[in-house]
Amino acid sequence: MKIFKTGFTSWENRHEIFKEDIADMYMLGNETALGALDSYNDTTKGIQKLIEEAINNNTTLRALGAGWSWTKIATAGKGIMLDTKPLNAVFTISSRSVAPEYTGDTSKLVFAQCGNGIWELSEFLRNRNLSLKTSGASNGQTIAGAIGTGAHGSAFDVGGVQDFVVGLHIIVGPNRHVWLERKSYPVVSPFLLNSLQTELIQDDDLFNAALVSFGCFGIIHGVMVETEDLFLLESCMERMPIDDTLYKLMETLDFTGSALPYKDERPFHFAVFINPYDMDKGAYVTSMYKRPYTDAYTKPVRNAEGIGPGDDAPCFIGKITQAIPALVPTLVNKLLGGTLTPFSKQFGTLAETFSNTTLHGKLLSAAIGVPLHVVNRVTELLLEINKDAGPFSGLFAYRYVKKSKAMLAFTRFDPTCVIELDATFSDATYDFYKAVWKRLEEENIPFTFHWGKINELNFDRLQKMHGPSLDTWIAARNQLLDKDCLKVFTNPVMVEWGLDKVL
């Protein structure tokens, strides 16, 4: 494995909202002189040596993906961060690598090294007429980073990014790395295990815990994903009145006779944007419909502001600079008027539709998951809080996701409405967020925090949100890692959240 020690003593996240002091940043690379499998196994051994050095030097270690998170979830404290983005090998899977008991389609299995960006993996798959089942709104994340923070995806009948993962190759110590999969859903054969020189663990609880584990179960080196045939999405965005009809749709997802472009067809993706300063003109409603793939289509068109059909609010809200409160409504209305332009019948693959890898300006983003039946009550509260603790320099966005099997996925409701609060970087935005969390708790409204976005967590709050799953997750981490490695893969935010317990 190639290791380049940069000598960096600080690291800033992609959104430029914090800097963290670190011991060093190592850039990792595969050995190009070796064959693909030999290079992958060589990298496994190289990472094991880095873990051994971290134990001997009493330092922490953290794998870094694309640095997409707003929280310090990817930081190593005063330790060493490992830039894994160059680790982007991808392997197709043959029938001899798959267990006879596997009930899926072997031809649609792909094994991706941890540093693969969602966009890279999508490009690899397209060349094979395949597609990921879902992705986040922005495809610049790495596959390991996306699943590790529970990226919530874009399809409410599919689930989040982690929900099409069926196997994890995790380096858990200097002398041990494991292949982890569900016992209830066996995937790999002894041939693949021997090829990776790894040990098999089939355990549903361990697997479901490790899926969303923010880098503290060891280093996820490879990910086995189930894909599907390449398909198109037909996308539409229109303005709809904010009335009982829309509120009913948002709280039931019953599309029978809806005012959407295809009245009785259940969409692949459904999202609502509410501008609290322009309620009379209605909400911006996006619907996407799955279509068979054909070459006869025009790729999605971005508007003059560079905003495409699948882009979410962080792609444009950062253009609002910190402003005096009286100007916030005017600025928000002016921005949205130039960026959210209604459209219809735009076609593209999943990767073309959800294609944004860049963001504009400093911004903050928070997201909570709530059950369907409280969506409209939460909307009422947001509008009330905006009058009392605002003005909020952003908009309220609603996306819907199937409940995840991952133990600590924040999409734990069936289904989950993800309410996103994207706004300009300012103290006023933080104050608004805190007012929202406080009011939700006062109203006894169940909610969860997105792990990679602005949140305010401690162990008591996590227990209330995730219940017994939290203790099971902690027990799984202690089962997989020995005490030395528990220490290596513990960072300050885990301590702050109370997830560093040693049993």
**Each residue's pLDDT tens digit, 275-297:** 888 899 999 999 999 999 999 99
- pLDDT at residue number 261: 92
φ/ψ (deg, to 5) at 280: -65, -30
pLDDT exceeds cutoff 70 at 361: no
pLDDT tens-digit map of 302-333: 654 445 554 555 544 555 554 445 455 555 65
Other Cβ atoms within 10 Å of 98 Cβ, number = 20
In whole angstroms, what is the distance from residue 248 CA to residue 257 CA?
12
φ/ψ (deg, to 5) at 150: 70, 40
Distance, first Cα to last Cα, the chain: 34
- pLDDT at residue number 338: 56
Least confident of 5-14, 114-123, 233-242: 5-14
In whole angstroms, what is the distance from residue 111 CA to residue 147 CA?
14
Domains, the chain, in order of start with CATH, read 2-229+476-497 (3.30.465.10), 231-456 (3.40.462.10)
Length of the chain: 503
Report residue 424's pLDDT band, with 50, 70 and 90 as the boundaries.
confident
Are 158 and 168 contacting, i.e. CB atoms less than 8 angstroms apart?
no
Are 378 and 370 contacting, i.e. CB atoms less than 8 angstroms apart?
yes
Report residue 139's pLDDT band, with 50, 70 and 90 as the boundaries.
confident
In whole angstroms, what is the distance from residue 309 CA to residue 133 CA?
18
Q: What is the CA radius of gyration of the chain?
A: 22
109-113 sheet: strands from edge to edge = 90-92, 109-113, 219-226, 165-173, 176-181, 199-202
In whole angstroms, what is the distance from residue 395 CA to residue 153 CA?
20
